């Protein structure tokens, strides 16, 4: 299992302000192959970026 924390940074085309959304990525690996990926992001930050 591989677990990473990350921050997505971007700017929406309809806005001039940048946004950041923290997240967590979980990879389940078996025999060197990725079997399952789960990506969790802060939903309130995603909603704020779109508002």
pLDDT in tens, 19-51: 899 999 999 999 999 999 999 998 888 788 777
Q: Which domain holds residue 28?
A: 2-50
Give the 3-state DSSP-derived string for the chain, with helices as H, strands as E and coil as C. Answer: CEEEEEEEEEECCCCCCEEEEEEEEEEEEECCEEEEEEEEECHHHHHHHHC
- pLDDT interval class at 18 (50, 70, 90): confident
How high is the pLDDT of residue 30? 96
How high is the pLDDT of residue 15? 77
More confident residue, 4 or 50: 4
How high is the pLDDT of residue 35? 97
How many whole angstroms separate alpha carbon 41 and alpha carbon 19? 13
Name the domain count of the chain: 1
């Amino acid at each position: 299992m591989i677990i990473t924390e990350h921050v997505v940074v971007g700017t929406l085309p309809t806005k001039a302000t940048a946004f950041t959304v923290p997240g967590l990525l979980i990879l389940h690996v078996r025999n060197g192959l990725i079997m399952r990926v789960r990506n969790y992001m802060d939903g309130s930050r995603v909603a704020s970026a779109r508002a």
